[in-house]
Structure 1
Amino acid sequence: MSSRLIATPDTCFWGYLDASEQPVMSVAPGETVTIEAITHHSGDAPDLLMDDGIRAIWDGIAPETRAPGVHIMTGPIEVQGARPGDTLRVELLSMTPRLAYGSNCAANWGLFHEKMGKERITIYELLDPVLADAGGPGFPEFAKPIFGFDFTAMELYTLPGVISEPDESARQPFSRDVRVPVRPHLGVMGVAPEGGRVSSIPPGVFGGNVDNWRFGPGSTVHYPVFHEGAGFYVGDPHFAQGDGEICGTAIEASLDVTLRLSIADDLPVQAPLLRTDTHWYTHGFSGGIDEGVGGLGNAMAMAAEQMLKLMVDRGGYTMDEAYSLASVAVDMGVTQVVDGIVGCHAGVPHSILDR
């Protein structure tokens, strides 16, 4: 069975995660759903990044309710039978761009804002405007930056959903023809967190704003469930991002995402666990980038601890064996440094982990 969740003011919530948010759809385990994921940066170039449906979300969700975070979520979706302690399996089947344009913001929360002394918007275009299923034949391989402008709509880019009215005189063409490999993925995805309402910005064991570019077509992500029905949501869609996301954002662009939701009885997890065609990835989160080596080290340690547990529990290694293999066969990386807390990941090839 397959269904579609259209993004509207009634099926989206903006800026927060909250277990009390009522589900807008209920699916049986194993059901396939196509979900419209909307970028909160559509206002950076509304002539290119907005259509009537996106404008309706801007008009229909009051600005004062877009807090305390920034992202637009579509959902939540109830997964029938999901219980606290279960693992939600999310198979990402395909992603299709809604529009052929995306925005990158060198923002006040970026790593080098003080050095740059300003905020800058750069608009990217998919090289092939004829859109097809992501990850398959016909999907554009590259995006290119076409123009940029200094952000002046307000003193700092702090208001979710701000619109920069098109000004051709301020739009400066990019200085050279460069092609960026497209990596469509979801920056935000996960389950309802424990406790009350929280900002959509910091990621956590519930998922949320993990910002791992590997959360794209062909991958499978596993989340621990904390509430009845899981409370699954998607948001923050991207065309491409590098590890670190240092200037503040990826190429923020709306996507239609087709995925399958089920319950993984055989794979208990304590934090987001990713499986790609080649690797398993664990994740860690800790501190802020302003904490320097300490915050980064704690996030990396959490990812490493999750990896060691995975190698023992799933791979069948002893802890001594796992610890040795992790040092010689596991790659550690910085997922992002701009989401309030640092995110790190650890990747192990299938050939090492799988029996």
Structure 2
Amino acid sequence: MTIHVFTPARYYNVLTAAPAVLTVAPSDTIETATVDAHGLDAQRNQVTPPGNPMTGPFFVMGAEPGDTLVVHLEAITPNRTYGWSNAMLAPNVVDPDFVPELPWPPKGERRRSYWEVDVAAGVASLVEPVVPGGLTLPLAPMLGCFGVAPAGGEAISTATSGPHGGNMDYRGFVAGVTVYFPVFVPGALFFLGDGHALQGDGEIAGAGVEVSCDVRFTLDLQKGRRIRWPRGETPTHLFTVGNARPLDQALQHATTEMVRWLQDEYGLSPMHAQTLLGQAVEYEIGNVFDPAYTIVCKLEKRWLPE
């Protein structure tokens, strides 16, 4: 295993088969940095245009279509004290007749919130707007957007997501989680960015507490393991990710991927797998703001066969 320390010099607003910035072997570790969703770095300098700029892509030797890329998220650490978010809910998450009552800003402006991010204390405190009694929330750093180059020579915006990953905004993508992506192009070409100091389920305001981050992760490879949608694993759960709109289609993708996982790799019969999911499945909403919504299908590992 080799540890690579990589300092990005350019960023991508699409996931595509772009020239690799670094070639690594399976089991290598990378330490790098991401900018925030507006392209601001650790010094709050605008170093790239906004729109979820991605660091990468990283080429994994030996990765070919039909394989699975394994991403071990080891550390995600905000590297500045300034964070920002939106101060108004997305209109699509409230009843239509309530939309006029949202705190709309003047035309051409957006409602922003500003936060003080204290990594040592493990909290983020709201600075603006000022609210009675203040507001301080625990940090839960995560990656909002990451994944691999898609198939077919596509260049897919970091505003959305699909089988390749992308802008999923799932608050469960934290340090300690292992994520699996299908490989569509030689080398997989892995990108990452859009760090959040914290975020609620669904990203219902259209942003978490957006911040630049230092990230440490290890890339590995499973040859010949073909998956269709992103998968993940924590010490207690398996999970699968579906990205689509409408929301029920995202749920269908995530549920189908979990059924396949249980039947193909854990040896459960269709009746066993589907009866188990019917009574033990858990769902989480990754996001209901982006062009494609994200649903996460989860199952506790304790229900799996020995």
Contact 1:334 1:343 in 2 (8 A): yes
Match of 1:206 among 155, 164, 169: 164
1:199: how far off?
A: 1.4
3-state DSSP of counterpart to 2:161: coil
* Aligned mates of 1:35, 1:147 — CA distance in 2: 30
Contact 2:170 2:202 in 1 (8 A): no
Equivalent residue pairs, number = 294
In the alignment, what sits opposite 1:350?
Answer: 301
Question: What residue ranges of structure 2 are gaps of 5+ in the alignment?
Answer: none
Deviation of residue 197 (structure 1)?
A: 1.8
1:36 aligns with 2:27: no
Amino acid at match of 2:208: A
> 2:155 matched to which residue of 1?
197
**How well do the aligned residues superpose, as a CA RMSD in angstroms?**
2.1
Asked if 1 retains the 8 angstrom alpha-carbon contact of 2:63 and 2:223, the reply is no
* 3-state SS of paired residue (1:320): helix
- Alignment partners' CA distance in 2, 1:179 and 1:244: 20
Instruction: Choose 190-199 or 214-223, whichever is displaced more.
Output: 190-199
Aligned counterpart, 2:74: 93
Farther off after superposition, 88-97 or 193-202: 193-202
SS of the counterpart of 1:187?
Answer: strand
| In 1, Cα distance between equivalents of 2:42 and 2:74 | 25
- What is the TM-score of this pair, normalised by structure 1? 0.77
Indicate conservation of the 8 Å contact 1:220/1:274, yes or no.
Answer: yes
2:111 to 120, 126, 138: 120
Instruction: Tell me which residue corresponds to 2:5.
Output: 4
Deviation at 1:343, TM superposition (A): 1.0
Distance 1:110 1:354, change over 3 A: farther
Q: 1:272 aligns with which of 227, 230, 243?
A: 230
Counterpart residue identity of residue 125, structure 1: E
Retained in 2: the 8 A contact 1:142–1:180? yes
Report the counterpart of residue 325 of structure 1 in structure 2.
276
Which runs of no fewer than 5 residues in structure 1 stay unpaired? Answer: 44-48, 131-139, 149-172, 288-294
Alpha-carbon distance between aligned partners in 2 of 1:241 and 1:354, rounded to the nearest angstrom? 34
Cα pair 2:67 2:224 within 8 Å, conserved: no
Q: After TM superposition, give the deviation of residue 266 of structure 1 in Å.
A: 7.2
Percent identity for Structure 1 against Structure 2: 31
Question: Mapping of 1:22-101 within 5 angstroms?
Answer: 22-41=19-38, 51=43, 55=45, 57-58=47-48, 70-101=51-82
1:182 correspondence with 2:173: no
User: Which residue of the partner structure matches residue 338 of structure 1?
Assistant: 289
> How many angstroms does 1:182 deviate by?
1.5
C-alpha separation in 1, matches of 2:5 and 2:128: 34
CA distance in 1, matches of 2:305, 2:209: 34
What TM-score do the two structures reach when normalised by structure 2?
Answer: 0.89
Look up the match of 2:173.
215
Q: CA deviation at 1:350?
A: 1.2
What is the CA-CA distance between 1:178 and the residue it aligns to?
2.5
Q: After the TM superposition, which residues 243-282 of structure 1 pair with which residues of structure 2 at under 5 Å, given as runs?
A: 243-265=201-223, 267-282=225-240
| C-alpha distance in structure 1 between counterparts of 2:131 and 2:9, whole Å | 34
Describe the SS at the equivalent of 2:262.
helix
Distance in 2 separating the partners of 1:126 and 1:313 = 44
Deviation at 1:97, TM superposition (A): 1.5
